[in-house]
Structure 1
Amino acid sequence: MGYLIAVLPDRLAAEAAYSALEQAGFPLERLHLLGRGYKTADEFGLIDPAQAARRQMQRLAIWLVPFGFLAGVGFSLLSGLDTSLGNHLIGGLLGALGGAMGSFFVGGRVGLTSGSGDALAYRNRLNAGKYVLIVEEENETRLREATRILRQFEPENLQGYRERP
């Protein structure tokens, strides 16, 4: 499936572009208009960057917390500061805490900056009062036709995407 995404400056341009695509024979179920009075980014399914960050943090925590625990216990054993079992357990818990902090700071940062792809840019434009028109089409020729139609309305941004198989 291919997607063509146009960012239009105002409601009039967005509605005119939508109507032009409709008149050109594009099915309404494959045309999506996002903005005030229309679908929201969440309703359409644009990835929320905070949600992507949470997923990345959880993935990292699965590996970093146990590794941190083992590293803390290992450090406690190797340092030989005290040989009581409680100190090794405390060392392990502190190592696990370090792993959790690493997943929070590193995973959260990576998830916020790259986990959402271009969705963050489109969300920012929607928040700024712009309109986003999305055309879904499998046929490459029809996507080129939609591109030609949308260029007439001088979109701020016009970007095509291909869904990965």
Structure 2
Amino acid sequence: MTIARFFRGTTLKRRLTHLAIVVLPDEASAFQAYRLLHYHGISPENLAIVGEGYSSPERVGLMAPLHIAFQKARSFGVTAACSGIILSLVASLVLMPGWNTALVVLITGVLSGSCAAILGGLFGFLGEGSTASIYRHHLNHGRYLLLIEGPEKLVHSGQEVLGNYSATSLY
């Protein structure tokens, strides 16, 4: 079961499932909230507890922020390098036919790929990586995550159940 799909960089695709993440202070309140959701008809297939003694962050797809940044940097860099090579090849053949085409293409590809890799790393680290970092921070401090995944209606009903349940009894 892949609950935290949006941590894997699929936020641009239209998701068929929705995700809600609830941060809980300890194991007892996480398990109590899990049982409450199960009691209200939410299947265990749509629930996951992440924390010590339960699912690991990697198992549900919560990648490390640096891993996300490197993945984004690599994908942006390769895409931009290929685009830069193609565009510079076309430009040097059409606009500058007398120039050394191979050198222009090589330099443009390296420069565009390097700049895009830096931008991709920043986007990965400051975008999805910062979200993953927040949840990993909670886990590192002994808190637990309760993940609810499924159709929009199911996720909203799970949020309502936990919202109607007294927050003081969860903590």
- TM-score, structure 2 length as denominator? 0.64
Which of the pair has more CA radius of gyration?
1
Conservation of the 8 A alpha-carbon contact between 1:31 and 1:134: yes
Map Cα deviations across residues 59-112 of structure 1 (whole Å, 9 max, x no partner).
4334422454454984xx96x9xx6x4xx5334323222122112211111112
* Residue in structure 2 matched with residue 112 of structure 1 by the alignment: 125
Q: 1:92 aligns with which of 105, 116, 138?
A: 105
1:117-128 paired onto structure 2 within 5 Å: 118-128=131-141
- Which segment drifts farther, 95-104 or 139-148? 139-148
Q: CA deviation at 1:19?
A: 3.3
Following TM superposition, by how much is the alpha carbon of 1:27 offset from its aligned partner in structure 2, in angstroms? 2.6
Q: Residue 33 of structure 2 contacts residue 162 of structure 2 at CA under 8 Å; is this kept in 1?
A: no
Query: Secondary structure of the equivalent of 1:60?
Result: helix
- Displacement of 1:144 in angstroms is 1.0
**Structure 1: 5+ residue runs without aligned partners?**
156-165
The 8 Å contact of residues 33 and 39 in structure 1, kept in 2 or not, is answered as: yes
- How much does 1:50 deviate? 3.9
**How much is the aligned-residue C-alpha RMSD, in angstroms?**
3.3
Q: Higher relative contact order by CA 8 Å / sep ≥ 6: 1 or 2? A: 1
* 1:1-30 deviation per Cα after TM superposition (whole angstroms, max 9, x unaligned): 444321112223223333333444433222
Give the structure 1 partner of residue 36 of structure 2. 20
Equivalent residue number for residue 60 of structure 2: 44
Three-state SS of the structure 2 residue aligned to 1:44 is coil
Matched AA of 2:30: A
Instruction: Determine the structure 2 residue equivalent to 1:102.
Output: 115
Kept after mapping to 2: 8 A contact 1:4/1:136: yes
Task: Give the fraction of aligned pairs with identical amino acids, expressed as a percent.
Answer: 24
Q: CA deviation at 1:128?
A: 2.6
Which residue in the other structure is 1:151 paired with? 167
Check the 8 A contact 1:126/1:132 in 2, yes or no: yes
Q: Which residue is equivalent to 2:3?
A: none
Gaps of 5+ in 2: 1-16
Matched, 1:130 2:143: yes
User: Aligned runs of 1:50-69 on 2, under 5 Å?
Assistant: 50-69=66-85
- Higher strand residue share: 1
1:8 to 20, 24, 27: 24
TM-score by length of 1: 0.66
For 1:56 and 1:133, how far apart are their aligned partners in 2?
A: 27
